[in-house]
């Protein structure tokens, strides 16, 4: 990264980049958030849990998705203390998103303090020693000297405030440059992913609830490879294209979930405040294919904890009915 005050990131707006930007923009325009719809609120919460679990797993946190869910829901989990603290800290940082400003360096330091509270002595402060990026035991990048960090970060935030680049592009560039500078002794990856989410959510609120971290985790080696290629070529384009691909795939998956979300809303509406049989629900929904109803409505609603059986110990009983599950 250039340490001059007129820093311009080295990247190209390739045809692939433009294609991803167009594709993501189209998908995002179709994702609407209903703030009062219970199914949508449950989906948002589940996505937040996925984001936290995936972002921490990339940094070798061993807690499962269910354990992460239990911690966030205030339940006791028998896991390593540090990993439990990491989870609680990540939740606090993500919950702070609406009150953070992406162009504020002060806010970034506050987010780091939340993310690493009780884990590192330098929480909320830039590092004072050398650092590097590791993929397992392999060093994929040696970070700039600590004495350069304040200036480099200042330049990066100055660029972020002034650039006219599309939010999808500038958020990915910021992510890469942040990882390149590696400004903190610990927590860099977690904060980089959080900050990209923040930049994107300032453009479209739905990004605050899209678990792109899950896709990065799925392609974790490709993530490190993209960083390494960008470092070697002194060109951010490979990393930019990789991140846009991850966001595009996340948005595509979210669109499928939203379609299911609409079906869950219809099912809950058909239930009303009563308990009803499968036949009654199908009639209210105007459905005739029992397999379709079972696979696309009933099972997802049961698995998602939205409804429950009146006779849970006799799932195949002819007297079985279904009712809304009371949210706790």
Phi-psi region of 286 (alpha: psi -120 to 50; beta: other; left: phi over 0): left
Compute the distance between CA of residue 186 and CA of residue 83 in angstroms, rounded to an integer.
Answer: 14
Given a contact cutoff of 8 angstroms between Cβ atoms, the answer to whether 255 and 206 are in contact is no
Say if strands 132-135 and 138-142 run parallel, antiparallel, or are unpaired. Answer: antiparallel
Residue 1's pLDDT is 57
The confidence band for 40, taking pLDDT boundaries of 50, 70 and 90, is low
The average confidence (pLDDT) of the chain is: 89
Residues pairing with 134 in the sheet: 139
Question: 3-class SS at 274?
Answer: coil
pLDDT, average across residues 266-287: 91
pLDDT of 119 higher than 60: yes
The confidence band for 36, taking pLDDT boundaries of 50, 70 and 90, is very low
pTM: 0.77
Which helix (H) or strand (E) segment is 322 a member of? Answer: strand 322-324
Residue 35's pLDDT is 45
Please state which of the ranges 211-215, 227-231, 263-267, 306-310 shows the lowest mean pLDDT. Answer: 263-267
Q: pLDDT digit string (tens) for 176-216?
A: 999 999 999 999 999 999 999 999 999 998 899 888 998 99
* 26 token code pair: 């189209």
Q: Which residue in this structure is represented by tokens 């904890």?
A: 305
Q: pLDDT digit string (tens) for 53-72?
A: 999 999 999 999 999 999 99
- DSSP assignment of 216-262 equals HHHTHHHHHHHHHHHHHHT-SHHHHHHHHHHHHHHHHHHHHHHHHHH
DSSP label of 297: I
pLDDT of 140 higher than 80: no
Q: What is the largest CA-CA distance in the chain?
A: 75
């Amino acid at each position: 990264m250039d340490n001059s005050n007129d820093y311009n990131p080295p990247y190209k707006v390739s045809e692939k980049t433009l294609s991803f930007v167009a594709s993501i923009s189209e998908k995002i325009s179709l994702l609407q958030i209903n703030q009062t719809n219970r199914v949508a609120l449950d989906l948002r919460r589940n996505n937040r849990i996925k984001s936290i679990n995936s972002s921490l797993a990339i940094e070798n946190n061993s807690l499962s998705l269910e354990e992460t869910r239990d911690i966030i829901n205030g339940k006791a989990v028998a896991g390593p203390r540090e990993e439990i603290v990491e989870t609680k800290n990540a939740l606090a940082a993500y919950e702070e998103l609406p009150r953070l400003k992406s162009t504020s360096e002060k806010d970034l330091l506050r987010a780091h303090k939340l993310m690493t509270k009780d884990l590192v002595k330098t929480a909320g402060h830039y590092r004072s020693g050398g650092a590097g990026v590791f993929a397992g035991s392999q060093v994929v990048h040696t970070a700039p000297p600590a004495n350069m960090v304040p200036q480099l970060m200042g330049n990066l935030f100055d660029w972020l405030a002034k650039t006219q680049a599309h939010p999808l592009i500038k958020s990915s560039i910021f992510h890469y440059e942040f990882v390149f500078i590696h400004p903190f002794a610990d927590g860099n990856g977690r904060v980089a992913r959080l900050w990209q989410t923040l930049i994107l959510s300032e453009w479209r609120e739905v990004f605050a609830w899209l678990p792109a971290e899950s896709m990065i985790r799925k392609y974790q080696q490709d993530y490190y490879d993209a960083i390494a290629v960008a470092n070697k070529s002194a060109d951010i384009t490979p990393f930019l294209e990789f991140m846009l691909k991850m966001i595009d795939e996340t948005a595509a998956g979210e669109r499928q979930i939203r379609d299911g979300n609409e079906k869950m809303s219809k099912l809950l509406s058909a239930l009303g405040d009563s308990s009803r049989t499968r036949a009654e629900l199908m009639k209210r929904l105007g459905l005739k294919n029992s397999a379709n109803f079972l696979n696309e409505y009933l099972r997802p609603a049961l698995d998602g904890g939205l409804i429950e059986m009146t006779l849970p110990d006799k799932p195949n009983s002819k007297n079985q009915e279904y009712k809304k599950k009371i949210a706790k």
